[in-house]
Structure formats: C-alpha cells, structure tokens
Amino acid sequence: MKLIKTIKKLHKPDKVKVDQTSVLERVARFQTRSIKKESKEIGLKLVLSMIDLTTLEGKDTDQKVKQLCYKAMHLHDSYSDLPNTAAICVYPTMVKTAKTALSGSNIKVASVATAFPSGQSLLQIKLLDTKIALDAGADEVDMVISRGKFLEGNYNFVFDEIAEIKAACGKKARLKVIFETGELVTLDNVRLASDLAIAAGADFIKTSTGKISPAATPQVTLTMLDAIKDHYLKTGIMIGMKPAGGISNAKTALQYLVMVKETLGIKWLDNNWFRFGASSLANDVLRQLEKQRTGYYQSADYFSID
C-alpha cells in the first residue's frame, strides 16, 4: 500500500480538457481514408492478428469455449498464410478450459475479472476474482473500473483499485483496464480515466465491456490514443489500446488502424500493443480476404458464428 501511495504522489494526472470539435474533425479525416489492393490484404491480416475472440455469456459452456478456441487455431485452414487471432477472452471459470484447448498455440488466454461487467463489488472479491483467473493460467486480465466511484469524483478510489489489481497480476499477466466509456458520458471523463489507469499501472486501456451501448467509438478511441501518446512522449513507455464492442466490419477496423498509425506510429501496429474486442469482426475480415483473392464474397453462413 505504501508503494501504491508513492506511485500516486509521483504520477497524479492532471485534468486534460478535450477539444471535442478537433476530435470529431480528426475522426472524420480518418474515415475518408481508403486502403486498396495489396495494402488492404496486409491490413486485413493485421486486423485478424489483433482480434480477441470473446465469449462472455451466462450460457457459456466448456464446449462453446473449446469451439471458439478451435476456430482461433484454424483460421488458416483456407489459406496457410493467415495469422491466428491474438487471444481468447473468457470468464475466470473458463480459463482452464481455454488454456487446455489452446495448448501448443501462441494464442493468449485473457480473462475478465473484478466483477465484470458492472464492477459493483468489494475489492476483496475483485482480488479473489483476479486470483482465480491467474491461478487457472490467464495470460491477460481485463478488469473494469468502478464507474460509480469515478462519476462521484472519487478518483483516488479508482486509482487504488487499479493499482491493487496490477500488483496482483505482477509478472504473471498483462492488465487491461476497461472504462465502459458509454457510461463515462464525456470525452473529458474518458481522458481522465485514461490518465488515471496509465498512472496506476495499466498495460492496456480498453473502451468497453461490450455490454453497454455505445461501446467503442472512433471519438473515444482517439481520445484514449492521445492519452497514450502524451504518456509516451513524457516517459518513453508504451501502453496498449483495445477498442471493444461495436466494431463488426473490416472497413471500420482498417480505419482504426489508420488512426493508430497516424496518432501513435507504426510501433503500435502489433497485437502486443493494439487489439480489437470484436468476435464478429473475424468473419467479415475472412470474407474480405476471400474477396481480395477470388473476386467473390463467401456467404456469411460459410463461417462459424462462434
């Protein structure tokens, strides 16, 4: 706890006012970009390699998780040069199943934790939730912040929780911090949450749980990328970014990659530093790749939903 207080004192974030008009103008420019032919195929493969295939439902079963893992490991069955997805994201109770199913692959297992998706629980429960995921072999932990405390202005509470979960992860797992930006209301709040999470030790910052609308939007993503950029310019330390929810087609995903490259630079065009939380995106990317190579679209029914 003394270490956490020291970190807080050294890295207390300033409130940065976001110029919403500027953000909207920049987003509009990114959305006019078009990537074609060879560059498009390279971009589509990159998008595929950055996807966290996800199942986070009350009806999840071992078999459903195994099926998702099988899909992740066999995307290249049609074309041998396709990459795997980056990770499979599941509840802590399903981490062991996913870890076993993915044995021998380089696909990570990510686990949501900390009373996902609401975050409405005690720190002791959140730490236990995290420990269960880590003990089962999770490579990454996706935690949610306490949005109620944040909106009350209790930023120290939010900082301390993130720092405690980061300390629990230690060197075992990278920590992604989810803001649920649809509940934070303003871009100023999104920027402050980004700065708080980065200061508290987040390895990644992530827009959403996928359970609240709106989820990821270009505006909130760009605001978060700007926070990462400012931190990098001050410290030289890279922080990852994950827009999650609402990104279902390849065209939009490619626009996000343009945004990342032009805001942060080419080093972030790697799944160690950028991810998409969007399972349905994988199928559209596969359809677009098929179109690039054959000139024809496959039916959406050609690819498994899960």
Render pLDDT for 199-229 as a digit per residue (tens, 0 to 9): 999 999 999 999 999 999 999 999 999 999 9
User: For the domain that residue 152 is a member of, what is the CATH number?
Assistant: 3.20.20.70
Q: How many domains does the chain have?
A: 1
Active site residue 206: yes
Looking at residue 99, its pLDDT comes to: 98
Q: Is the pTM of this model over 0.85?
A: yes
Low-confidence winner among 41-45, 251-255, 288-292 (lowest mean pLDDT)? 288-292
Confidence band for 297, pLDDT divided at 50, 70 and 90: low
- Give the domain range for residue 147: 2-302
Give Cα 10 to chain centroid, integer Å. 27
Nearest to 209 by CA among 303, 89, 293: 89
Confidence band for 37, pLDDT divided at 50, 70 and 90: confident
- Which of 129, 206, 226, 284 is an active site residue? 206
Is residue 158 pLDDT above 60, yes or no?
yes
- Which of 96, 108, 126, 242 is an active site residue? 242
Active site residue 171: no
Q: Which residue has the tokens 């609402």?
A: 246
Nearest to 206 by CA among 141, 132, 135, 126: 141
Is residue 6 pLDDT above 70, yes or no?
no
Helices 187-200 and 2-10 cross at an angle (nearest 10°) of 130
- Which of 52, 139, 142, 284 is an active site residue? 142
3-state secondary structure of 1: coil
Active site residue 77: no
